[in-house]
Amino acid sequence: MKKLLTIHLMFFFFSSFLYSQDLQLVDGNFIKMDKCGFLPESESQVNPTENWGYSYDSLLTDLEIWRQNSYVKVDSIGLSVQGRPLWQLTITSDPNNIAGKRTVYIHARTHPQETEGFWVTKEIIKILLTENSFAQTVRENCVFYIVPMYNPDGVELGYPRRNANNVDLESNWFTFPNEPEVAGLKARFTELMASPNPIEVELNMHSSSLCKRYFVYHDSAGTSPQFAVMQQQFIERVRSYYPTGIEPWNYYVSWTGGNPMKYPESWFWYYHGESVMALTYEDMYQCAGTGNFDLTANAILRGVMDYLNIPTEVELSDNLIPSEFTLEQNYPNPFNPTTKIRYSIPNVGTGLALSTLKVYDILGNEVVTLVNEEKPAGYYEVEFNATELSSGVYFYRLQSDNFTQTKKMILMR
Ligand SMILES: [Zn+2]
């Protein structure tokens, strides 16, 4: 009986996955190509000498530097086809004691040519090893496992997308389970998911010829309605830290047909449902706008912390002075009993701007004043605790300089 149910479920998954075929909706048009925006003929290019600017030896050099750091432990999740270790960094406040830590997994360079996804990953490592309050909070609350080069043979052979056995490890996660790279990563995922610290976020780092920075958003036909909403919130949260750089969640809606376990992230969806935010991130592949890896890394890390509900200090960053007033939708929403409200104040030339942020009930009665002070230009975040209030609709209004904006939020107890 149990077997039959499994088969039925498989059928449901297969049929719903086949629904959108191999077509992807890009800027309103369906185009047949892979999720990194490459057409099949791009497989034939090789770059055997340059290794796209970061070789396996480059990684070994960086590993020597990283492993000096007391927050880092280096080990391998297995060997590649040609016997190269698949290096994994463990980064947390004490890598020998991960009790109670929230687990985030990141792997990069499945497709050797897509170095930009790796450069973002390298910036993430850099931020995680920085001595400041944000990084300290992250290290104290989380353990990050990072595989910076998942396909070292492909990198050394100059293959754009495949491993030494000529297999695209990205889209053949299920078809070629015995490729040593696939087997190694899958074994590590399986082990962690059965541990007291299961993976909660898994990011698969690539770069795309579409010259946009985006997360590959999958609609509910391929996952679930709940997961679709969670993805939207996650992507919008990351994006809120780099709004001019990262595309909104609905930019790239796709599900490529075929087997449900075709990709690493769909393996998570299939076996663990909504419990893991498993997504591919695509940076810009060799585009005019390529760069700002530090801003992207910062946005991803801060978005992940928000997703995990780990409070972090919001700091004014020199290269992130807002150009306009904004009042963002509170997060989470609906909420119970706390939620965060973020806003930004631009440099209006008059120095400090008197800012007030107040909450009103549905009848317009002021409930609480959250902010009432002169503030310099910057991005701000305030937590609203509604423990004393009853369920219902509330409004929050930001007034600063000549700017006023009001948004609605819902308290659900
Ligand atoms: Zn890719």
Question: What is the CA(83)–ligand 1 centre distance, in A?
Answer: 23
CATH of 326-411, one of 3.40.50.300, 3.40.50.1950, 1.10.3110.10, 2.60.40.1930: 2.60.40.1930
Question: Is residue 265 within 8 Å of residue 279, measured between CB atoms?
Answer: yes
Question: What is the CA(212)–ligand 1 centre distance, in A?
Answer: 13
pLDDT at residue number 34: 72
Q: Residue holding tokens 């590649």? A: 80
How far out from the chain centre does Cα 226 lie? 17
**Beta bridge pairs of residue 389:** none
pLDDT at residue number 25: 53
| Consecutive H or E run containing 223 | none
pLDDT at residue number 1: 37
Neighbours of ion ligand 1 (CB under 5 A): 36, 111, 114, 206
Question: What is the CA(16)–ligand 1 centre distance, in A?
Answer: 24
Q: What is the CATH number of domain 16-307?
A: 3.40.630.10
Residue type, 381: E
Domain boundaries, the chain: 16-307, 326-411
pLDDT at residue number 327: 93
Question: What is the CA(204)–ligand 1 centre distance, in A?
Answer: 9
pLDDT at residue number 19: 30
Question: What is the CA(346)–ligand 1 centre distance, in A?
Answer: 37
How far out from the chain centre does Cα 377 lie? 27
Residues of the chain with pLDDT under 70: 1-33, 39-49, 253-261, 313-320, 348-351
365-391, pLDDT tens digit by residue? 999 999 888 777 778 888 899 999 999
Give the SS3 label for residue 77: strand
Short-list 344, 372, 318, 298, CA closest to 138: 298
Same fold, 16-307 and 326-411: no
How far out from the chain centre does Cα 90 lie? 18
Question: What is the CA(112)–ligand 1 centre distance, in A?
Answer: 8
Question: What is the CA(114)–ligand 1 centre distance, in A?
Answer: 6
pLDDT at residue number 49: 64
Short-list 24, 54, 17, 20, CA closest to 39: 24
Question: What is the CA(142)–ligand 1 centre distance, in A?
Answer: 27
Please, what's the b/e burial string for 365-386 (b: 16 or more CB within 10 A of its CB; e: otherwise)? Answer: eebeebbeeeeebbbbbeebeb
Question: What is the CA(105)–ligand 1 centre distance, in A?
Answer: 17
Phi (first) and psi of residue 100, to 5 degrees? 80, 0
Question: What is the CA(391)–ligand 1 centre distance, in A?
Answer: 45
Question: What is the CA(216)–ligand 1 centre distance, in A?
Answer: 11
Question: What is the CA(163)–ligand 1 centre distance, in A?
Answer: 13
Question: What is the CA(292)–ligand 1 centre distance, in A?
Answer: 19
